[in-house]
A = this chain, B = another copy of it.
Amino acid sequence: MITVLAGGVGAARFLSGLVRVSPPAGVTAVVNTADDVTLHGLRICPDLDTVTYTLAGAVDPGTGWGLAGETWQVMEALERFAPVAPSGSAAGLTWFRLGDRDLATHLYRSARLGEGAGLVAVTAEVATAWGVEATLLPMTEDPVQTRVTVAGEGEIGFQEYFVERRHDVAAFAVRFAGIDQARPAPGVLAALDGADGVVIAPSNPIVSIAPVLAVAGVRDRLRARRRQVVAVSPIVAGAALKGPAARLMAELGHEASVVGVARLWTDVAGTLVVDEADAALAPEVEAAGMACVVAPSVMHGPDEAAALARTTLAALA
């Protein structure tokens, strides 16, 4: 039984490798929901969807998110309404592109939530519909929203930062609105308690893993068993393979390196897996308090993802 703390693309790729080397029914992902956004009245869960589509083998291989072979009829039609929406309205916004087939997921989820179903149940239904055997859990069913303070604008929502501004603006602060009231989703603490080992997936430490760790009870449970917790660095050679992890770490005062990652996670994880490109930094990782495993960590395809998962599991033993 392996439980994985997960964000989006990097975690999804890692999980796709993990379910090739470990029985999928024994894999549970606790997935960040602080990136979630409500658009057009629909609840969008980008990280849950990326993990679902990736494990279903349906993800767009080019982007790492969204569906392969997607069409965009609805978004194109929605552009008609942007000119008539009153100033300040979020209706008719199309910078967050929702593909047609992806929209079906949001329609289903939103309808079920509107009927009073919990996000855990709905996430399981969506995963089942996509043939995913691993258990996917939202970190919480309570509302949490990542807010980013950026240059010249003040605080904006995460998707405004990440998608609308393409994370191409300086960030001064990140906070998770609602996190203090957020209870772990049903099953989350049990998945941590019952796991033979816990993996922190190679996801953005600042905006993907931090909110999961901040849910009540999660950090404490990892601390209590940090020797059975292995983290995979999302930073390779001082850069993120995808997204703003390195930039955000630097802007928020962390070293944008595997050493900076180790300092962020040393209290919750005993071991850090770093890429061979960072082999020279292993002593500094260990000085930060984490055992360091050096192995190829860039997942170009399923074989490399499976190899990285195997290395990670070996470090748990």
Contact = CB atoms under 8 A, between A and B. Distances in A.
Interface of A: 39-42, 71, 73-78, 80-81, 83-86, 89-92, 100-105, 107-108, 110-112, 114-115, 117, 125-126, 128-130
Nearest to A88: B115
A91 B112 contact: yes
Contacts of A126: 81, 84
The number of times this chain is found in the oligomer is: 2
Given A74-B100, A108-B91, A130 B80 contact: yes
Contacts of A74: 74, 100-101, 103-104, 107
Contacts of A40: 107-108, 110-111
Given A73-B101, A89-B117, 9 more contacts: A40-B110, A40-B111, A41-B114, A78-B104, A81-B108, A84-B125, A85-B108, A85-B112, A89-B112
A81 B106 CA distance: 11
Contacts of A92: 108, 111
Contacts of A108: 40, 78, 81, 85, 91-92
A85 B237 CA distance: 45
Nearest to A110: B41
Contacts of A102: 77
Contact of A90 (B39, B81, B111): B111
A97 to B, nearest CB: 13
A236 B112 CA distance: 44
13 contacts: A40-B111, A41-B110, A41-B114, A71-B100, A77-B102, A78-B104, A81-B104, A81-B126, A81-B129, A85-B125, A89-B111, A91-B108, A103-B103
A91 B111 contact: yes
Contact of A129 (B83, B103, B125, B130): B83
Contacts of A81: 104-105, 108, 125-126, 129
Given A41-B107, A115-B90, A100 B77 contact: yes
A85 to B, nearest CB: 7
A243 to B, nearest CB: 26
Closest 9 CB pairs of A and B: A77-B104, A91-B111, A73-B100, A77-B101, A40-B107, A78-B104, A84-B125, A81-B108, A41-B110
A75 B314 CA distance: 44
Nearest to A108: B81
A129 B114 CA distance: 29
A71 B102 CA distance: 15
Find the residue from A81, A89, A125 having the highest chain B CB count within 10 A. A81
A199 to B, nearest CB: 27
A13 to B, nearest CB: 23
